[in-house]
Amino acid sequence: MPVFGDDEEAGRPPAHAGIRETHVAVVVFLGEHAYKIKKAVSPGFLDFSTAAARREACERELVLNRRFAPDVYLGLGEFRFPGGEHPEPVVVMRRMPEDRRLSDLVRGGAEVGPSLRDVARLLAIHHAQAHRGPEVDAQGSRAALSARWEENFAQVCALTADGGPGGDLATGGVPEARELVRRYLAGRGPLFDERIRRGRIVDGHGDLLAEDIFCLDDGPRVLDCLEFDDTLRFLDGLDDAACLAMDLEQLGAAEEAASFLARYSEYSGDPAPPSLRHHYVAYRAFVRCKVALVRAGQGDAAAVTEARRLLTAALRHLRTSEVALVLVGGLPGSGKSTLAGALADRLGVTLLSSDRVRKELAGIPPEQPAPAGYGQGLYRPEWTDRTYAALLERARALLAAGETVVADATWSDASNRDAAGDVARSTGSALVALRCEAPADTAAQRLATRGPGPSDAGAPVARAMAEAEDPWPDAVAVDTGGDLEAAVRQALAAVRPHSPEPSTVFRRSYMEPG
């Protein structure tokens, strides 16, 4: 709700009058109040053609926005005109100070961290108290999200068809975005079912943007929720928060965006995987890309550049959201476990270790030695098959829940690698194979000096495994004979080829037990 000009005293609304007009409303600013009048229009997605419809819309705007800013939305007023058949309904609001608008604060380089924490807390509190129900849950389903994505893809293609502005988008980034979206959604049924089961789908804000947030001394005021279509306001709470994160990124505040999402997740107790956070930010960027293309079709030349920037942002987040099963293999002494742990830590993802799974299945602590010759004891073929089956079953559940998995094992048997490929395909996940390679003398030195741990393999076992291992031609060879950081960079380049170290990393602020 823009205010024109600045008052001499910061944080106070200006005394002079102002006006702002949108395609469906006119806002008049007088003194300390703002008066919002609905236009008598019917653009297709809403109908304000009658005074009764406008009154109902004003009343609904008051009810919905008072959930976030009760002291801003003061009530329903009327404008009366001589000879008019019906008084014109008007939403009466407390006028907000322009110098406290979040978008302007961000552009001006102000410190907004504390204000964003307050916004995150306010949003989490609202979501905790928000209306829920079957009609709300339906909009948070995988099918509903897929339908919204497909509608937006179709609209973008239609807007850019037949020489429309930004026509290169439909043949450039849009096909990749569509493929990444479809693959993510196809394998994530359990994730979206669990979001519904946990009550994460709420009647939220629907259009949380920095220009509609005012950072006052006594806390933020969040204005202008989406009121004309309930189904667009029924959404995953994380999707609601992702809208502001996307907007902050577009304002050049990527670190603040990531921090805001982390704080929202903390205050709401939401253990969503980072992949879902990136997916929702991508969705919001793509929707805004579509809106920019609409403006471009209306003659706004600068909007084409904006659309390209937003599509780039959507693609960056979709690529980062891609769920992957990363196989980190190699012979004993190759440094595979060290690399796997460092890689999982750098990516902020789940690490599964065949050595630990093997001993867990045997009912012994992972650090307890259980040495045996090649193919003997806990390393008999049937035990190995059981170990890999259990590891992959755990990986399957994690992948379906949106979690990328780094799987640390030798992966020397082609049949186990084929089984891993089946798991990746069935969960719509990428499969990345890394084979650790170190000089023979380095590997031997590591085995000779290694202390007790999950792995029991010594030099004789390593030699026997080298003779029996199947070729692995499709694996990316990673040099693990030297600097660990160099090996991690090489592995990251294979796992995230478009952006090994994305500028915005969404990590959990904590992990839920259980």
Let me know: does 96 contact 13? Beta carbons within 8 Å: yes
* pLDDT computed for residue 467 by the predictor: 87
* pLDDT computed for residue 499 by the predictor: 63
153-200 tens-digit pLDDT = 999 999 988 877 888 887 789 999 999 999 999 999 999 999 999 999
**What is the four-CA torsion angle of 231, 118, 251, 303, rounded to 10 degrees?**
20
* pLDDT computed for residue 498 by the predictor: 79
- 236 by DSSP, 3-state: which? strand
Cβ atoms < 10 Å from Cβ of 430 = 14
Residue 504: pLDDT band with limits 50, 70, 90: low
- Take residue 329 and report the two structure tokens written for it: 């293999």
Window from 340-354, 371-385, 403-417 with minimum mean pLDDT: 371-385
> Is the pLDDT assigned to residue 376 strictly greater than 90?
no
Mean pLDDT of 291-308: 91
List the alpha helices (DSSP H) in 322-375: 336-347, 354-362
Instruction: Report the distance separating Cα 320 and Cα 258, nearest Å.
Output: 14
Q: Which residues contact 244 (CB under 8 A, 6 or more apart)?
A: 119, 208, 209, 210, 213, 257, 260
> Is the pLDDT assigned to residue 434 strictly greater than 90?
yes
Q: Is 18-97 a domain of CATH 3.30.200?
A: yes
| pTM (two decimals) | 0.90
Let me know: does 118 contact 55? Beta carbons within 8 Å: no
56-105 tens-digit pLDDT = 999 999 999 999 999 999 999 999 988 778 899 999 999 999 999 999 99
Residue 7: pLDDT band with limits 50, 70, 90: very low
Residue whose structure tokens are 């395609």: 23
* pLDDT computed for residue 2 by the predictor: 40
Residue 510: pLDDT band with limits 50, 70, 90: very low
What percentage of the chain has pLDDT greater than the value 70?
Answer: 95
> Is the pLDDT assigned to residue 263 strictly greater than 80?
yes
Mean pLDDT of 354-375: 86
* pLDDT computed for residue 93 by the predictor: 97
* pLDDT computed for residue 514 by the predictor: 32
19-66 tens-digit pLDDT = 988 878 999 999 999 999 999 988 777 889 999 999 999 999 999 999
Residue 507: pLDDT band with limits 50, 70, 90: low
One CATH from 3.30.200.210, 1.10.3720.10, 3.40.50.300, 3.90.1150.10 for 324-495 = 3.40.50.300
Mean pLDDT of 460-467: 84
> Is the pLDDT assigned to residue 1 strictly greater than 50?
no
* pLDDT computed for residue 374 by the predictor: 75
206-239 tens-digit pLDDT = 999 999 999 999 999 999 999 988 999 999 999 9
DSSP annotation of 501 reads: S
301-353 tens-digit pLDDT = 899 999 999 999 999 999 999 999 999 999 999 999 999 999 999 998 999 99
Window from 352-361, 428-437, 462-471 with minimum mean pLDDT: 462-471
* pLDDT computed for residue 508 by the predictor: 54
Mean pLDDT of 408-436: 97
**What is the four-CA torsion angle of 414, 418, 421, 427, rounded to 10 degrees?**
-140
Instruction: Report the distance separating Cα 383 and Cα 361, nearest Å.
Output: 9
113: left (phi over 0), alpha (psi -120 to 50) or beta: alpha
> Is the pLDDT assigned to residue 250 strictly greater than 80?
yes
> Is the pLDDT assigned to residue 513 strictly greater than 60?
no
* pLDDT computed for residue 85 by the predictor: 80
Burial 203-241 (b: 16+ CB within 10 A, else e): bbbbbbbbebbbbeeeebbbbbbbbeebebbbbbbbbbb
Architecture, CATH, for domain 101-321: Alpha-Beta Complex (3.90)
Instruction: Report the distance separating Cα 19 and Cα 30, nearest Å.
Output: 9
* pLDDT computed for residue 5 by the predictor: 38
* pLDDT computed for residue 505 by the predictor: 53
Every domain of the chain and the residues it spans: 18-97, 101-321, 324-495
Nearest one of 512, 441, 450 to 482, comparing CA atoms = 441
For residues 246 and 13, which has the higher predicted lDDT (pLDDT)? 246
113-152 tens-digit pLDDT = 999 999 999 999 999 999 999 999 999 999 999 999 999 9
- Kindly report the backbone phi and psi dihedral angles of residue 476, in degrees, each rounded to the nearest multiple of 5, phi listed first: -85, 120
- AA letter at 37: I
